[in-house]
Amino acid sequence: MTAYVMESDAEARRLVAQAQANPVLEHLRTTGLSEGHVALDVGCGPGVITEVMATQVGPKGSVVGLDFNAQRLTEARARCAYLGNCRFLDADLRASGLPDAAFDYVWSQFVFEYLPQPEPALAELLRVTRSGGRVVVSDVDGVGMFNWPCPPLVQEGFPKLVGAMTTATGFDIHVGRKMYSLFRRAGLVDVRVHLAPLWVVAGKADARLVEDWDIRLRTLEPVAAPFFGGVEAYRAFSRAYMDLLCDPEALKYSVLLVTEGRKP
């Protein structure tokens, strides 16, 4: 099993705050999640989106949340315990063990970026989707890269951070833009892509985004520091990035690409 590079004691807190900061219900509705659907949340984490999905499909529908992290699943089960129409599955999304053609709607957010090989994962999502059902992948493209004015320490350091993650874990910071082509090659039809802001910070970032990046940068230190020539150089980069987030004169933004397709 491939480890999840962002794992830490603070990861559940970061994921809950991140999911709650974004209009996920809008993305789910736009891409066709409806009342009565049998739906799957792939890489569900602490279950914030699973909860929204279960509410959207209502008592006539149901949702399965899938993750390979037992702690995340415990949190997700607790969060959704009051709902009678969802359950959780401890499985690797690349070999879920779920039956063929079982779901009307299959969703995955912020998971494909961590997969060294997206094709087998997408094939598994297709396998469990019924004919006429929808597959939806919501993911980043260049997360954290779009900032101006941008100090040289960040400008030069960010590619090192991305290089470290790519080399060490197969992370793909541009996976969002690649999903359209991957969907087409996988045989999905009516493929559409929705572009949404992940954050737009004109000036000082709010406490949620500051904590999010603080957790990210601390968690990645063991992986990234060697690519900076040592811990001190990495910490200097991290401080510069955090300063940039709080710079009232700088614009920071990131985008989300939500790709949807129909299984023929």
Q: Between helices 152-169 and 231-245, what is the axis angle to 10°? A: 120
- Cα separation, 114 vs 169, in Å, equals 7
What are the residues binding ligand SAM (CB under 6 A)? 4, 15, 19, 43-45, 48-49, 67-69, 72, 92-94, 109-111, 114
**DSSP track, 13-67:** HHHHHHHHTS-HHHHHHHTT--TT-EEEEET-TTSHHHHHHHHHH-TTSEEEEEE
Least CB distance to ligand SAM at residue 19 (A): 4
Residue whose C-alpha is closest to residue 213's, from 232, 241, 234: 241
Our CB check for ligand SAM shows the closer of 80 and 240 to be 80
Can you read off the two tokens belonging to residue 79?
């969060």
Residue 245: CA atoms inside 13 Å, Cβ hemisphere, count? 20
Our CB check for ligand SAM shows the closer of 8 and 155 to be 8
Nearest residue to the partner ligand SAM, using Cβ: 45
Our CB check for ligand SAM shows the closer of 104 and 139 to be 139
Our CB check for ligand SAM shows the closer of 41 and 104 to be 41
Taking CA atoms, 145 is separated from 51, 129, 159, 246, 261, in Å, by 31, 34, 9, 15, 28
Can you read off the two tokens belonging to residue 36?
């009565």
Our CB check for ligand SAM shows the closer of 18 and 150 to be 18
Least CB distance to ligand SAM at residue 79 (A): 11
Our CB check for ligand SAM shows the closer of 44 and 173 to be 44
Least CB distance to ligand SAM at residue 53 (A): 11
- Cα separation, 213 vs 156, in Å, equals 18
Least CB distance to ligand SAM at residue 151 (A): 27
Least CB distance to ligand SAM at residue 148 (A): 26
Residue 224: CA atoms inside 13 Å, Cβ hemisphere, count? 24
Sequence letter at residue 12: A
Length of the chain, please?
264
Least CB distance to ligand SAM at residue 90 (A): 9
